[in-house]
């Protein structure tokens, strides 16, 4: 048996070596047939001796049963986001801030491509890959170990014996442009769904519940940094860590380069920009990092961004095409929005056939006619927008519709509004469908499995006619629906039952009152602690509440003036939707303070606002000289910059939690 174990390990070592030569170094030493023969020998021996299979065996790249849901996992060190700049002047300003903070020169920097892929965190313990997770919110991600193991460029065991006891390795999973195009050609030939873009397809592939499906996707990876690690590993510089990754068998990018100063970085940005269109993968900029890790520690972090790194973003990509027509879509509150239908065009390697037009005033401002040649702009994953008309078409002018495209009701337009509206409310099929979708969304009751297609299906079959009907669904009619078996039906019913336990702000938000979102729902929940109090409120009382404008007050009162809306809200409660009663004692510790919230945090914004208002603070939407505090989360933007300029006290999430608790 000992000899068999020894032979197995030799085969595994050989397979790891040749896989590294092929997938990481792109320099194979054996033919595919020779590799396959060796791999078949491994499978044969392990098949006869399953007790000898190890987690790092090459045979374990594809395997494992499909999972029902992804588990959450906390990173040992946060995966921080980066501040951004788009001009040389902004980059120079960042350099000056770093030097000023240190009161000395920051030393050399490292430049590397900013990959347009999906960030992952790989945990190796004693050299073996034990866990892989998505970035998530930077602190907590989703466990995707089985899926990541299918990526051949990810070593299941680090090649060197001289590795840390444990180490987090950060990488970017991506799909090459060539593989993206080839996959789409094959999918089109087989009548399968096409990928939208390399980045989105990489993200979707990593979140497949069946690892064998992920294995069919042409994923690769570049490792770009080290996160937390055990004390037995102490690199001195970022570039040293990159070189160590390479020695350990991880795939690192050939364009990582040390630059002695800012001028060298600017030159690197220009050189890589010239090569961008010829690269086999998508990038959207350059990441610049202080090289010395001691200097990185001295600079530290700001909120959830490192002070010692910045991303230089290349400008958005424009393209021109022909506007074929304009269609009008009806939203959940009756807003009728124009959408441009375009002759499909590639914008930054993504095929675009639709673009937003906002409202009829925008159409008139642009002077669009059918057949016009228009200039499109797309930045990252942002929905493309029409920037201007390049050449006016000879087609007809685009006139606003008079009747709702969904129900045929005559449209209205408020005196001070640019938006057309259908007044039919929930008797309009489009408004009803969008209202139910919103009701089930994460911001509201968060009913898992109730996506657009499922809602559309239930409405079409007449199983629901309003939001509250969701809580009366039975298993028998669900099982008869297309693509809905016993297990799926039960999962949906379980999710519906779980959704009954919610929060009062989420419940208010789910009602779909016009212009009432998460923030305003939290304010209303704090001021009117029961549903009946909210139903009975008048405009004058609402106007006494901070941050409630006259338009909001009128919308709330008009909503509950309709008997059907009152009945629906009460019926939801009767069917079991509930929330904890407020147990907070009167606390005026923040009385007189004016707060502004900016950026993304782990707490929902409604919860943050509720915590502040409950303690006597006011929450404003903009920073001014009267602002006393700013709670800044991840990707905080202009509000944070203005607060810094005015010298306002700024709290990150940790400081805010300490204050509240």
Catalytic residue among 10, 84, 114, 642: 114
> Do the Cβ atoms of 102 and 299 come closer than 8 Å?
yes
pLDDT in tens, 10-38: 888 888 777 776 556 656 676 656 766 77
For the segment 444-458, the average pLDDT, to the nearest whole number, is 91
Q: Which of 165-179, 396-410, 612-626 has the lowest mean pLDDT?
A: 612-626
Residue 219 lies in a domain: yes
Q: Do residues 141 and 275 both lie within one domain?
A: yes
Any idea what the CATH number is for the domain that residue 384 is in? 2.40.50.140
**Structural tokens at position 587:** 């606390």
Q: Which of 313, 337, 365 is the last residue in one of the domains?
A: 313
For the segment 217-230, the average pLDDT, to the nearest whole number, is 94
Residue 399 lies in a domain: yes
> Do the Cβ atoms of 317 and 348 come closer than 8 Å?
yes
Residue 230 lies in a domain: yes
Q: Do residues 510 and 570 both lie within one domain?
A: yes
Residue 581 lies in a domain: no
Any idea what the CATH number is for the domain that residue 124 is in? 3.30.470.30
What does the pLDDT read at residue 64?
47
Segments forming the whole domain that contains residue 604: 594-660
For 250-287, the DSSP string reads: ----TT-EEESSHHHHHHHHHHHHHHGGGSSS-EEEEE
Q: Do residues 145 and 292 both lie within one domain?
A: yes
pLDDT in tens, 81-130: 888 898 999 999 999 999 988 888 999 999 999 998 899 999 999 999 99
Q: Do residues 183 and 308 both lie within one domain?
A: yes
How many distinct structural domains can be found in the chain? 6
Q: Which of 382, 404, 420 is the last residue in one of the domains?
A: 420
What does the pLDDT read at residue 604?
67
Residue 470 lies in a domain: yes
What is the Cα–Cα distance from 296 to 107, expressed in whole angstroms?
11
What does the pLDDT read at residue 464?
95
> Do the Cβ atoms of 510 and 531 come closer than 8 Å?
no
For the segment 191-206, the average pLDDT, to the nearest whole number, is 79
pLDDT of residue 39 exceeding 80:
no
Q: Distances from the Cα of 57 to the Cαs of 21, 120, 159, 492, in angstroms? A: 17, 21, 13, 38
Residue 73 lies in a domain: no
What does the pLDDT read at residue 66?
47
Q: Do residues 47 and 120 both lie within one domain?
A: no
pLDDT in tens, 541-553: 898 887 788 888 9
Q: Which of 268, 298, 313 is the last residue in one of the domains?
A: 313
For the segment 460-482, the average pLDDT, to the nearest whole number, is 93
Q: Which of 30-34, 534-538, 596-600 has the lowest mean pLDDT?
A: 30-34
Q: What is the mean pLDDT of the chain?
A: 86
pLDDT tier for residue 585 given thresholds of 50, 70 and 90: very low
pLDDT in tens, 251-285: 999 999 999 999 999 999 999 999 988 899 989 89
Residue 71 lies in a domain: no
Q: Do residues 390 and 289 both lie within one domain?
A: no
- Is 475 tagged catalytic? no
What is the Cα–Cα distance from 428 to 512, expressed in whole angstroms?
15
Q: Do residues 481 and 429 both lie within one domain?
A: yes
pLDDT of residue 583 exceeding 60:
no
Residue 55 lies in a domain: yes
Q: Do residues 244 and 123 both lie within one domain?
A: yes
Any idea what the CATH number is for the domain that residue 468 is in? 1.10.150.20
């Amino acid at each position: 048996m000992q000899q068999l174990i020894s032979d197995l390990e030799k085969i595994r070592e050989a397979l790891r070596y040749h896989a590294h030569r092929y997938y990481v170094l792109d320099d194979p030493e054996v033919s595919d047939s020779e590799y396959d023969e060796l791999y078949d020998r491994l499978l044969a021996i392990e098949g006869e001796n399953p007790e000898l299979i190890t987690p790092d065996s090459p045979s374990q790249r594809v395997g494992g049963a499909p999972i029902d849901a992804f588990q959450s996992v906390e990173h040992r060190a946060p995966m921080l986001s980066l501040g951004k700049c788009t001009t040389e002047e902004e980059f120079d300003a960042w350099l000056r801030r770093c030097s000023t903070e240190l009161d000395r020169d920051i030393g050399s920097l490292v430049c590397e491509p900013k990959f347009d892929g999906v960030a992952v965190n790989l945990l190796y313990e004693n050299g073996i890959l034990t866990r892989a997770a998505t970035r998530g919110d930077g602190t907590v991600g989703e466990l995707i170990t089985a899926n990541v193991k299918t990526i051949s460029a990810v070593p299941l065991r680090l090649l060197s014996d001289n590795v840390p006891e444990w180490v987090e390795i950060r990488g970017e999973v991506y799909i090459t442009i060539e593989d993206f195009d080839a996959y789409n050609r094959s999918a089109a030939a087989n009548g399968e769904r096409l990928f939208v873009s390399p980045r989105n397809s990489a993200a979707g592939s990593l979140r497949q519940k069946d690892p064998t499906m992920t294995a069919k996707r042409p994923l690769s990876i570049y490792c770009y940094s080290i996160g937390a690690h055990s004390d037995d590993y102490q690199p001195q510089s970022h570039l040293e860590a990159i070189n160590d990754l390479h020695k350990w068998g991880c795939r690192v990018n050939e364009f990582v380069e040390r630059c002695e100063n800012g001028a060298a970085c600017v030159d690197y940005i220009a050189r890589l920009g010239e090569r961008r269109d010829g690269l086999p993968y998508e990038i959207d900029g350059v990441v610049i990092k202080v090289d010395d890790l001691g200097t990185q520690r001295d600079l530290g972090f700001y909120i959830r961004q490192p002070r010692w790194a910045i991303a230089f973003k290349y400008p958005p990509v424009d393209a021109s095409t022909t506007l074929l027509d304009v269609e009008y879509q009806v939203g959940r509150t009756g807003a009728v929005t124009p959408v441009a239908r375009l002759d499909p065009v590639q914008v930054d390697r993504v095929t675009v056939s639709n673009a937003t037009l906002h409202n009829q005033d925008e159409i008139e401002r642009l002077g669009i006619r059918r057949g016009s040649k228009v200039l499109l702009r797309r930045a990252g994953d942002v929905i493309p927008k029409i920037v201007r008309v390049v050449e006016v078409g000879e087609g007809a002018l685009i006139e606003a519709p008079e009747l709702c495209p969904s129900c045929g009701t005559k449209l209205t337009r408020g005196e001070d509004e640019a938006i057309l509206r259908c007044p039919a409310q929930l008797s309009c099929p489009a408004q009803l469908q969008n209202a139910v979708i919103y009701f089930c969304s994460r911001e509201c009751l968060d009913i898992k499995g109730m996506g657009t297609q499922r809602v559309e299906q239930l409405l079409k079959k007449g199983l629901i006619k309003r939001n509250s009907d969701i809580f009366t669904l039975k298993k028998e009619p669900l099982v008869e629906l297309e693509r809905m078996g016993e297990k799926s039906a039960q999962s949906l019913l379980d999710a519906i039952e779980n959704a009954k336990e919610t929060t009062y702000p989420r419940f208010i938000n789910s009602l779909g009152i016009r212009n009432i979102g998460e923030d305003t729902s939290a304010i209303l929940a704090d001021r009117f602690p029961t549903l009946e109090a909210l139903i009975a409120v008048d405009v004058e009382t609402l106007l006494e509440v901070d941050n409630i404008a006259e338009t909001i007050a009128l919308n709330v009162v008009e909503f509950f003036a309709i008997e059907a809306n009152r009945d629906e809200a009460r019926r939801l409660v009767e069917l079991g939707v509930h929330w904890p009663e407020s147990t907070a004692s009167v606390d005026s510790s923040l009385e007189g303070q004016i707060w502004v919230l900016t950026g993304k945090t782990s707490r929902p914004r409604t919860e943050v606002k509720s915590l502040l208002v409950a303690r006597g603070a006011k929450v404003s939407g903009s920073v001014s000289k009267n602002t006393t505090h700013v709670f800044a989360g991840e990707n905080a933007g202009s509000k944070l910059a203005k607060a810094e300029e005015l010298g306002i006290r700024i709290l990150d999430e940790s400081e805010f939690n300490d204050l509240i608790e």
